[in-house]
Amino acid sequence: MAFGTPIALPLAHQMARILLIEDEEKMARALVRVLREEGHGVEVAADGRIGLSRALDDGFDLLVVDWMLPGRSGIQVVRGLRAADVHTPALMLTARGQVEDRVEGLDAGADDYLPKPFALQELLARVRALTRRPQGAPAETATVRVGDVALDPVRHEVRRGDERIELTAKEFALLAALMQSPGRVFSRSVLLDAVWGVPGEVSTSVVEHYVSYLRKKLDREGEPSHIRTVRGIGYTFEPPRGPA
């Protein structure tokens, strides 16, 4: 039983040299911390122009690029790199979540796209996927399956059987955290930290609300829930048991 401890990494992964191009100081600090904890080397550029020149000069394994930046936008940075025939994988961060924006980012040559706000665990999952594959190779789909529920962190899609389930970003992040270790019991505060990432600022009751939203979307009438409440502790995700 591992509740109350940080969420364990499911896979061994490569350490990477990462260039983070992000102008928001608080966000940059949080990302540097979590990426360094993973063992990655991280350099930060707070401006698109500087970021582009650093990325052109140096052999980074991965770029994490915010969309809205002073100097050059994230899109311009990625376009500039691809135009210079530099194919370092790029993960784009953005508060703009519309489909057109996503398409624009991918068209510019970004390899993956993560809408803000996101769970740090989700960022790490994408970083793992992008640092694992050889440069220039198509994105790997690291779909997680538990029972008939499939979660694709790259496409940001959830399906139950053939049915596509529409989730908000937070619902998705919560489900991703739970599905990462089926059967593991997660305390509310561990989930709060993994999904909201701001301990103390949000009450753990938000976790209960989001669990109920997820159950409404995932569960079927008259069947037991995928998300089991463990009294006094928290929640676990597992294929529903019980009478067929």
Contact residues toward Ca ion (CB under 5 A) are 23, 66, 68
Query: Whole-number minimum distance, CB 24 to Ca ion, in Å?
Result: 5
Q: What is the 3-state secondary structure (H, E, C) of 44-105?
A: EECCHHHHHHHHHHCCCCEEEEECCCCCCCHHHHHHHHHHCCCCCCEEEEECCCCHHHHHHH
Query: Whole-number minimum distance, CB 34 to Ca ion, in Å?
Result: 18
**Total residues found in the chain within this entry:** 244
Report which of 236, 87, 71, 223 is spatially closest to residue 160, judged by C-alpha positions: 223
Nearer to Ca ion among residue 68 and residue 169 (C-beta): 68
Nearer to Ca ion among residue 47 and residue 238 (C-beta): 47
Nearer to Ca ion among residue 25 and residue 163 (C-beta): 25
Query: Whole-number minimum distance, CB 212 to Ca ion, in Å?
Result: 33
Residue nearest to Ca ion (CB): 68
Query: Whole-number minimum distance, CB 93 to Ca ion, in Å?
Result: 8
Please give the helix or strand (H or E) that residue 125 lies within, else none.
Answer: helix 120-132
How far does the chain reach from its first CA to its final CA, in angstroms?
28
